[in-house]
Structure 1
Amino acid sequence: MSNHKAGFKEKGVKLLKKIYKLASSVKLAVWLLFLLALLGALGTSGVIPQGGAAAQYSERLGKVGDLIIALGLDNYYRSIPFRGLFLLLLVNLVLCGASRTKVGFLDYFANGKANFSLGVLEREDAVRALRATGFSVSVGSDSAVFRRRWGFLGFPLVHIAPVLIILGALIGSEAGYIGTKIITVGDIALTFLDWSVEEERELPFVVHVKDRVTTFYQGKLRLSGLKNDGSTGAEFTAEVGRITPIPDTPYSLLVEEYNPETNDMRYFIKDGASTKGPYSKGIEKDAPLLIRPLAYKGFEVRQVVALVDLYPSEGKEDVTSAEISVNAPLDYGPYRIFLTAWGEDEEGAPYVGFQVTRDPGERLVWIGSIFLLIGIFVLIFFKGGWARWADGELKVKGSRSLIENLRCSFSKEEKSL
């Protein structure tokens, strides 16, 4: 009975070793990446319609449609197959990188396996050869010596990095949030449209849009002047920021700013050495002429800024006043708010559109990316090495080029004896 149990245990151990060998193989990583790329191509090609109702899939595709819904393929990149492959890739990378990471840390402390050894008769000769290849060592030192020790951390960093990146991506896709909302200036928003479920979702904060400020690259204007007697003067062209004579009058015009959204401008009228103004629509008392824009050229949008107040849903105790512009999103707690749209509704009321995101895995992705860049840099520019004396031999670990240089240095030492 004991022999039977021992044999069964041995078979179990062998099976686990085979599973581990397969799960930690580079070949499996390549296949998983291939399958992910294939599924990604199918997802973007539109072969499987996205975002439809469950009943639509059943009516059009029958049992295949039911299977699509069951696997979540109607929302492709959040589906069970796609996320499952990502999870398998994450496990594979952890197992693949575990051994290389362990070796890297062991070598950092000179406890790894040497790839070169040589019997040394004279310690001083070994010291000179090691110094010639870049090792920091003293004659009387019995401890391990190193050459660019940080180079051994390149492999751990490179193997840890993709694990962090994929883990961050999985966390972000599972626990993250993307929502949008159109808010009229002066109104507040309590909910946003959650893209993942296509339903309104209440957020833990309130957004109050106080105003929207749009600035433009200034251009040219076609203008006319309305005289005090009610007659309209000749049309003329003016550039923003330049003094322009007004035809058939003793006056000149300086347009300081024009807003094509409101068809209003801020202008001054010069009469010889005196300047009157500023004037704008509705604020033109005592103006010698009323200047009206007829057409414009240029005036492309330069910047759009939404002036907002944000506060927790529970109350207004902690109000945050901020600006959100096209190229400057606002970070509010774990959320990031982007300005993505603006315009006027059918009644002419100005509005802005926001996209709200929350990505709890973003920091892991950034850390993983930084680890990857540092690891690659270390592997390219820092060829690490260690050496230690053990049992009358000099044991060394390093790159192939380092070992060859060390061999050459020892050969020179032997010839000089």
Structure 2
Amino acid sequence: MIWRSLASLRLTVPLLLGLALAAVFGTFAPLEEGRYEIFYQRLWFRLLLGLLALNLSVCTVRSLLQRRRMLAVPTFPLNSADLDPPWRVLPEGLDRDRAAARLAALGYRVVAHPQGLLAQQGIGGRWGGTVVHLSLLLIMAGALLGGAGFVGTRQLHVGHEATDYFDWAAQADRPLGFTLRLDHFEPVHYPIELRLAVVEADGSRPPLLLTTREGETVELPRPGLTAQVEKFLPFEQMLFLQLYRDGLPLGRYQALPAGGKETSPIAFGLTLHPDAFRDPMLKQLHSEVSILEEGQVVKQGVIEVNRPLVHRGVTIYQTAHGRDPFGFWFAGFQLSRDPGEPLVWSGCVLLSLGLLTAFFRRWRVLLFAWPEGRGVLEPLRGFAGEAGSADLQVLLHALAVSVTAEAGTSADRYDP
């Protein structure tokens, strides 16, 4: 009795409705410390999920046992007069061999059975519901296992290292297990439109103002001399140019803002400096990091937004950036370990496959027998409702047509 109750839909439906209702309150309830997940980590919510997992587990086991019993030796009344409705009676002249051949031609897998023949179609769909149940259990197990992981943060200046992180759940520093070093950081912007001032070193002419942007090339007031805008650093107001003469590269030129402690170098009697620029639009955050173990670099990589770095099960995300009062860059990282993530992803893939199989590969099972010399059939699965009855009518018609066609062929073959 308890076994049946645990596998009953009368338990599944209230559990799903309760979880849905709780999720609504979890979405609109006041946040605790700005974190949504705290609501769903409460013991009562996890107990509901655990009861649903038990319900799915028992239901899956019962389903497997039922399938095994049904396909082992299914039986039905052998007296054709007792069969209702009457269309379960097979066409005249359709013996065992003809039925097996015709069913195989219609896409059924036919095997011998103590009562006659067992025909199956869409065997893959037989496991669709089971795969869905197993995938949901995998996702739940992965979510539960994820509680053994951690989420923490660490802020680093360029050139600095860290061997620990701040665990927000424990409100304490925890060892990371390796050393994280920030080698380089820079914010990447969309091409910045700027105005370039070209000044004669001797002051003989007024400055030439050119409007350009990163990636473009401008002509300088010297025969054949051009400059390609390579990169502009808006915070430092440094402009890097590549100089060319008649298409041949001459070298890199660093243009500094006018009026600073340092001035731009003189090239071909000209000095160049950025005069004005539009507000930059941030495109990406770019961090270059090294992973060290026992003082040795074991891994190097780039961390950007939506491009984390993974080492020893720890995923490192780019989350923040800034400059301190002295003008030095720092980057903020989130570090997390989720041991249940492989189970969750595997469950999601299985869930998709199970749903596709269940909806697009209908499992159908038919039992054929010939008691008292009269062929009869019993639909065991996949022919429920009016649509199933209509499909059975189509199948019987196809079998009858095959008998008629074979009889006609035989008559033509032996007609004197």
TM-score range, shorter chain: 0.7 to 0.9
Native 8 Å contact 2:305 2:319 kept in 1: yes
Q: CA deviation at 1:370?
A: 1.5
Q: CA deviation at 1:213?
A: 4.0
Native 8 Å contact 2:132 2:351 kept in 1: yes
**What stretches of structure 2 of length at least 5 have no aligned partner?**
79-87, 257-261, 408-416
Query: Which SS does the other structure have where 1:319 is aligned?
Result: strand
1:348 and 2:334 equivalent?
no
Partner residue in 2 for 1:262: 236
1:50 aligned residue (22, 26, 32)? 32
Q: Give the TM-score, by structure 2 length.
A: 0.75
Structure 1 residues 359 and 105: CA distance shift in structure 2, 3 A? farther
Query: Which SS does the other structure have where 1:327 is aligned?
Result: coil
The 5 A counterparts of 1:333-412 are 333-387=312-366, 392=371, 396-400=379-383, 401=388, 403-409=392-398
Native 8 Å contact 1:225 1:291 kept in 2: yes
Partner residue in 2 for 1:160: 134
2: CA distance between counterparts of 1:136 and 1:93? 30
Structure 1 residues 247 and 285: CA distance shift in structure 2, 3 A? closer
2: CA distance between counterparts of 1:364 and 1:98? 20
Native 8 Å contact 1:105 1:152 kept in 2: no
Q: Deviations over 1:295-341 (max 9, x none)?
A: 212653343321111134xx235621121122311121212111122
Partner residue in 1 for 2:84: none
2:124 aligned residue (141, 146, 150)? 150
Q: CA RMSD in A?
A: 3.8
Greater Cα shift, 29-38 or 358-367: 29-38
1: CA distance between counterparts of 2:247 and 2:379? 89
Q: Deviations over 1:337-364 (max 9, x none)?
A: 1112222122211111111121111121
Q: Give the TM-score, by structure 1 length.
A: 0.75
2: CA distance between counterparts of 1:237 and 1:96? 71
Give the AA of the match of 2:330: Y
Q: Deviations over 1:47-88 (max 9, x none)?
A: 4x6249xxxxxxxxxxxxxxxxxxxx9932221112111111
Q: Deviations over 1:10-67 (max 9, x none)?
A: xxxxxxx1x33332222322222222233333333234x6249xxxxxxxxxxxxxxx
The 5 A counterparts of 1:189-204 are 189-204=162-177
Partner residue in 2 for 1:35: 18
2: CA distance between counterparts of 1:253 and 1:412? 84
Native 8 Å contact 2:265 2:271 kept in 1: no
1:98 and 2:98 equivalent?
no
Partner residue in 2 for 1:182: 155
Give the paired residue count.
Answer: 374
2: CA distance between counterparts of 1:291 and 1:169? 58
2: CA distance between counterparts of 1:209 and 1:44? 37
Structure 1 residues 388 and 326: CA distance shift in structure 2, 3 A? same
Structure 1 residues 160 and 112: CA distance shift in structure 2, 3 A? farther
Q: CA deviation at 1:209?
A: 0.7
Give the AA of the match of 1:85: L
Structure 1 residues 275 and 321: CA distance shift in structure 2, 3 A? closer
Native 8 Å contact 2:365 2:381 kept in 1: yes
Partner residue in 1 for 2:49: 86
1: CA distance between counterparts of 2:176 and 2:73? 53
**What stretches of structure 1 of length at least 5 have no aligned partner?**
1-16, 53-72
Q: Deviations over 1:93-141 (max 9, x none)?
A: 212232224345666xx32757898687831343255346422449999
Give the AA of the match of 2:230: E
2: CA distance between counterparts of 1:322 and 1:270? 33
Partner residue in 2 for 1:66: none
Native 8 Å contact 2:103 2:119 kept in 1: no
Q: Deviations over 1:174-220 (max 9, x none)?
A: 21221122111111112222232333222212211111244333232
